[in-house]
């Protein structure tokens, strides 16, 4: 798990899993590759015409691991969250 400290930069969001099964796969991937992560259940908006608010598993990693995590997930076919500027 990620340890938070006020002196450290905030963890970066790298992926939002919409389903529990998907979240479990992500946890396995991160654990197998030694990437520390934190999962937070948060709400997001989905849809255009029939928009709704849903809950998802938001995966955060330390900033220094974010590039590696995104590259790994992209290589496995996942659509990652880009860095926020």
Question: Which sequence spans correspond to the domains of the chain?
Answer: 12-75
Q: Are 59 and 30 in contact (CB under 8 A)?
A: yes
Residue 85: the pLDDT is: 46
Write out the chain's pLDDT in tens, 85 residues. 656 556 778 999 999 999 999 999 999 999 999 999 999 999 998 888 999 999 999 999 999 999 999 999 999 999 999 876 4
Tokens of 24: 């479990």
How far apart are the C-alpha atoms of 10 and 69, rounded to whole Å? 16
Residue 82: the pLDDT is: 85
CATH assignment of 12-75, among 3.30.70, 3.30.1120, 3.40.1350, 1.10.3470: 3.30.70
The model's pTM: 0.84
Residue 7: the pLDDT is: 72
């Amino acid at each position: 798990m990620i340890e938070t400290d006020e002196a450290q930069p905030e963890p970066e969001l790298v992926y939002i899993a919409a389903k529990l099964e998907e979240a479990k796969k992500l946890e396995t991937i991160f654990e197998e590759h030694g990437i520390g992560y934190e999962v937070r259940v948060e709400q997001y908006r989905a849809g255009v015409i029939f928009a709704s608010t849903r809950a998802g598993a938001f995966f955060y990693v330390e900033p220094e691991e974010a590039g590696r995590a995104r590259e790994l997930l992209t290589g496995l076919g996942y659509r990652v969250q880009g860095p926020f500027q």
